[in-house]
Amino acid sequence: MKLARRVEQLPPYLFAAISRLIEEKRDAGVDVVSFGIGDPDLPTPQHILDSLAAASTEPANHRYPESDGLPELRRSIARWYERRHGVVLDPDGEIVPLIGSKEGIGHLPLCLIDEGDVSLITDPGYPVYEVATMFAGGESVKLPLREEDGWLPRLDEIPGDVAARARILWLNYPNNPTGAIAGSDFFERAVQWARDHDAVIAHDLAYADVTYDGYVAPSILEVEGASDVAIEFNSLSKTFNMTGWRVAMAVGNRDVIDALTRVKSNLDSGIPQAIQEMAITALDGPMDAVDGRNGIYARRRDRMVEVLREMGLRVDPPKAALYIWAALPEGERSSADFAARLIDATGVVVTPGVSYGQAGEGYVRLSLTIADERLEEGLARLSTFARGG
């Protein structure tokens, strides 16, 4: 049997590889504590679950949904964006619900990329941007992120011949894996760059509402004229602890939203309607659970930073996202070797920074989405490791 070249070229998905490593260690009798994957450990708020239970009994919700989503959900997303970001969206032309933002990210290059076209992808970054580009027949060009730049790309250093072929500029702030944030001044420069080069900005705002210390994450669509060149992926996964329910949205430029909707209509049948009604309840409801959840994450963040510094890692507490991005101790060169030694010596899993791209070498990522008891167990082991025990 001969597989397609695109599949033969496909690297193992990062988080699947981490899951296999954990399984192997557990099969060997190791009590593994994993800081590897950013999947909220706290439950979906009860009032949202109650709405799903009620919607699941409605016969209308037992049938095929539409790829462009319920009109009521699109209107709810529009209300959310106006209330949360001050951005006014047309529910019938500038919004499409998604089966999780990963689905929309995976489909977007099919709308914009032809053979020979370029996606500009930040390094380190979420691996799906590059894989989706490869599936569409395009070329990924990495934009290295540097700590001294606040983990923002240097748009003015993109070579002219690359910029001329660029069709998508992928951005993600608050950022995975670094936890970096971007302000309106950076987004204004990015929008101008996209105008100048006839490119589309795809902004991944999955961590918009996982924030700390009073920080409020902006939407790129808050920038004047951004909807001329940008779309934004947003998700209920991290905001409302709904990763398992697979519901998100793309919003922004109506031509790109129309193209994405047409691709989706040929490849999927949309979000189950009961889950769409669940999403409406979440978006139109209270934010108390979100604020309380962020307080839990902030406490975990502070404990983790304390122990990592004890280990000799250099780390600044992030203002957003689910992760600690920590520079290796003095003298360490390989993030993969460091992570391997940790799991062998302690049973604690961290993600090597190089897994997110070559510019991530020298760092490791740890997730805050682990129950307090297990977090304290993992940190205790790391403290013992730091003391040479």
User: How sure is the predictor about 389, in pLDDT bands with cuts at 50, 70 and 90?
Assistant: low
The CATH T-level fold of domain 5-44+288-386 is Aspartate Aminotransferase, domain 1 (3.90.1150)
- Give the tens place of pLDDT for each residue, 251-286: 999 999 999 999 999 999 999 999 999 999 999 999
- Give the tens place of pLDDT for each residue, 80-139: 999 999 999 999 999 999 999 999 999 999 999 999 999 999 999 999 999 999 999 999
For residue 328, what pLDDT is reported?
Answer: 97
User: What order of strands is seen across the sheet that includes strand 248-252?
Assistant: 95-98, 248-252, 230-235, 200-204, 166-171, 118-123, 139-144
Question: Does 3.30.465.10 match the CATH number of domain 63-284?
Answer: no
- Give the tens place of pLDDT for each residue, 18-66: 677 778 878 888 899 999 888 999 999 999 999 999 999 999 999 999 8
Q: Averaged over 346-359, what is the pLDDT? A: 94
Q: Averaged over 172-191, what is the pLDDT? A: 98
Judge whether residue 16 has pLDDT over 80: no
Q: Averaged over 189-196, what is the pLDDT? A: 98
The pTM (predicted TM-score) of the whole model is 0.95
For residue 13, what pLDDT is reported?
Answer: 61
In terms of DSSP bridges, do strands 139-144 and 118-123 run parallel, antiparallel, or are they unpaired?
Answer: parallel
Determine the Cα–Cα distance for residues 240 and 247; give it in Å rounded to an integer: 11
Domain positions in the chain: 5-44+288-386, 63-284
